[in-house]
Amino acid sequence: MAYVIDDTCISCGSCAGQCPVSAISEGDGKFEIDPDVCIDCGSCAGQCPVGAIAPGN
C-alpha cells in the first residue's frame, strides 16, 4: 500500500527530496504521493516535520 499525505501537510517539500523514486509532487494546497510510483519505503514519513505522512489503507 502506498504512503499518503494528509491535510496536516504544511507544503514544506522536505518529503519530496527524500523520495528515491520521485513519487511526491506539489499538489493543490499540499504535496501528494503518486500511488503507482510509491515503493512503500517510508523515507518520506521520517522526513515530515508534522507527521502528515503515513501508510495508506
Nearest to 15 by CA among 44, 46, 39: 44
pLDDT in tens, the chain (57 residues): 899 999 999 999 999 999 999 999 999 999 999 999 999 999 999 999 999 999 997
Torsion angle, alpha carbons of 24, 49, 53, 22, to 10:
20
Grid cell in block for residue 13: 517539500
21-42: b (≥16 Cβ within 10 Å) or e: eebbeeeeeebbbeeeebeeee
Alpha-carbon distance of 22 to 7, in angstroms, equals 20
